[in-house]
Structure 1
Amino acid sequence: MTTSAQVVAAYFAGVMAGDATAVADLFTDDATLHNAAGTLSGNDAIRRMYEQGLAGARMTPSPGPLVIDGDTVAVEIDLEVDGAAVRLGDFFTIRSGRIQRLSIYSLTPSGGRLLEKVGVDPQDHNPGDS
């Protein structure tokens, strides 16, 4: 059995490796991801977001201690993106060893601007929308 902590560790390892497939494979088919850019519904939309976001930037997350309550995990992250630092708060809901829901909150204004650029499904987002 995969623990919530193991799923979250695999998520951050995939982000650090720039492996969009590994990250997306951690999400359930009907997962939701909420961030400053809006809500993504379903694994396909989440996969496209990570393919775009991880292809365009080198992301190095430094997660703090995990706060775990059953299938819910909260963590503050210092994230370096192409040399710029942002602070985020991630809230995961894990079901059967996969991410059912992820909410990403920016704790800095620069983090919110970053998510508006990379935290979108490119299939549903037009550059003029921002």
Structure 2
Amino acid sequence: MTTDGKVAAQRYLISFDDGAMDSIPEEDLPSVGEAAHKVLRDAKAAGVWIFGCGVGRQQSTIVATDGTITAGPVQETKAVIGGFSIIEVSSREEAHIWAARFAAACRCAQEVREIMFDPES
């Protein structure tokens, strides 16, 4: 709760793994995209949307603290994010409601994680 009595908003990352939507038939992808965009538009209208996007399927790279660059995680051995949304809501329960809407629209499970507040960001 803030000093003015309002519930403090929290930010949440809602994400799904790369490959989670691979079982969706190609001909269904346009309707899945439209369903996901509807939830996105609803989140914007509700004032909770911060940012989101799909993550292109490609080999990532890892940049170490010394600047050394190596190949990133291999999909078969480590989960990789396939897409995400960042929302700002008053509770984890509200984040779960939005995640359920995205899960239904995208036809795949969504992971919900709180983003730690950093006043510098």
**TM-score (norm: length of structure 2):** 0.31
Q: Which has the higher strand share?
A: 1
The structure whose Rg is larger is 2
**TM-score (norm: length of structure 1):** 0.29
Higher relative contact order (CA 8 A, sep 6+): 2
